[in-house]
């Protein structure tokens, strides 16, 4: 049941906003959000949505002003307080546009807290649209009812990764040529004083010979990991690695915090 004083049926429509969320505040929807609310969903004055910003939890808000490509939302009450969230990081070599869209969307749904593009010797794409990555991550966070949006880190070349890797995270390098099984590696990771690992997925052409050797030597806690005997597409390997971690060591066994009314 929703908290006392809130409507019996919680809003299904959720929007991510950068504004501070406090009782009585008014938030202006972006033109794109306003068009979606007013023209696609056909909402109007008095209709409710849920808002979140990654800092102040989730709130109900009602539409109090509506115009052409614009609407104002008035905050009412908090639905959920902000909770600490520290999931795994996903590092991936940019691939074709639709593949990157898929990775951003599904990794967000699966609880990744940082998406980090990494260029390597066999990376096919020469650049990546980080604004598009952000848009896909926001849309997925709105849909899956998480309270945060993954950070989109600035792209880095594989040769520079060791120099900026934090000491409190293991780095699991997915390697189709061999390595230790994921379940075996996760069972040996220290639990205390360590954050969820980063999972590094290579390009569609695989790792170049000798390419990941320097990472394995320079990064404390780095190791090669295999996901089984089959060769997986880059986007499949990314999701398989995240799901494996969540089910074996993450929050995959926890019950949902919010249930839609039924």
What domain range includes position 183? 89-248
Do 114 and 238 lie in a common domain?
A: yes
Do 56 and 184 lie in a common domain?
A: no
Do 104 and 226 lie in a common domain?
A: yes
Residue 256 lies in a domain: no
Give φ, ψ of 243 to 5 degrees.
Answer: -60, -45
Give the pLDDT band of residue 261 (cuts 50, 70, 90): very low
Residue 187 has a pLDDT of 84
- Last residue within a domain, chosen from 80, 104, 119: 80
Longest Cα separation, the chain = 62
What average pLDDT does range 251-262 have in this prediction?
A: 55
Q: pLDDT tens digits for 124-171?
A: 888 899 999 999 999 999 999 999 999 999 999 999 999 999 988 999
Residue 3 lies in a domain: no
Report the residue count for the chain: 262
What average pLDDT does range 92-104 have in this prediction?
A: 89
Residue 262 has a pLDDT of 37
Do 18 and 101 lie in a common domain?
A: no
Q: How many domains does the chain have?
A: 2
Do 46 and 167 lie in a common domain?
A: no
Residue 4 lies in a domain: no
CATH code for the domain of 59? 2.40.240.20
Tell me, rounded to whole angstroms, the distance of Cα 179 from its chain centroid. Answer: 26
Residue 5 lies in a domain: no
Confidence check: pLDDT of 98 > 90: no
Do 225 and 124 lie in a common domain?
A: yes
The encoded tokens of residue 11 equal 């809003």
Do 109 and 64 lie in a common domain?
A: no
CATH code for the domain of 222? 3.40.1280.10
Q: How far apart are CA 41 and CA 29, in angstroms?
A: 14
What average pLDDT does range 37-63 have in this prediction?
A: 96
Residue 258 lies in a domain: no
Do 189 and 169 lie in a common domain?
A: yes
3-state secondary structure of 229: coil
Do 31 and 75 lie in a common domain?
A: yes
Do 115 and 197 lie in a common domain?
A: yes
Residue 64 lies in a domain: yes
Q: Which sign does the torsion angle of CA 237, 149, 87, 166 carry?
A: positive
Q: How far apart are CA 171 and CA 179, in angstroms?
A: 13
Distant-in-sequence, close-in-space partners of 163: CB < 8 Å, separation ≥ 6: none
Distant-in-sequence, close-in-space partners of 45: CB < 8 Å, separation ≥ 6: 63, 64, 65, 66
Do 72 and 115 lie in a common domain?
A: no
Percent of the chain with pLDDT over 90: 69
Do 120 and 218 lie in a common domain?
A: yes
């Amino acid at each position: 049941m929703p908290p006392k004083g809130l409507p019996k049926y919680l809003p299904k429509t959720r929007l991510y906003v950068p504004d501070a969320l406090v009782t009585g505040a008014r938030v202006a929807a972006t033109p794109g959000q306003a068009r979606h609310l007013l023209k696609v969903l056909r909402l109007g004055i008095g209709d409710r949505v849920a808002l979140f910003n990654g800092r102040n939890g989730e709130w109900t808000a009602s539409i109090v002003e509506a115009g052409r490509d614009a609407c104002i939302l008035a905050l009412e009450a908090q639905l959920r307080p902000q909770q600490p969230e520290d999931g795994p990081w996903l590092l991936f070599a940019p691939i074709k546009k639709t593949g990157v869209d898929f990775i951003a969307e599904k990794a967000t749904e699966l609880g990744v807290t940082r998406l980090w593009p990494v260029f390597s010797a066999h990376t096919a794409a020469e650049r990546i649209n980080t604004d598009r990555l952000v848009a896909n991550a926001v849309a997925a966070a709105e849909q899956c009812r998480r309270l945060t949006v993954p950070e989109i880190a600035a792209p880095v070349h594989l040769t520079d990764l060791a120099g900026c890797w934090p000491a409190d995270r293991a780095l699991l390098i997915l390697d189709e040529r061999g390595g230790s099984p994921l379940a075996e590696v996760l069972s040996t990771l220290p639990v205390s004083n360590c954050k969820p690992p980063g999972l590094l997925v290579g390009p569609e052409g695989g790792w170049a010979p000798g390419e990941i050797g320097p990472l394995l030597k320079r990064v404390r806690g780095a190791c090669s990991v295999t996901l089984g005997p089959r060769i997986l597409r880059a986007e499949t390997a990314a999701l398989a690695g995240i799901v494996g971690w969540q089910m074996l060591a993450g929050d995959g066994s926890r019950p949902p915090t919010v249930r839609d009314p039924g």
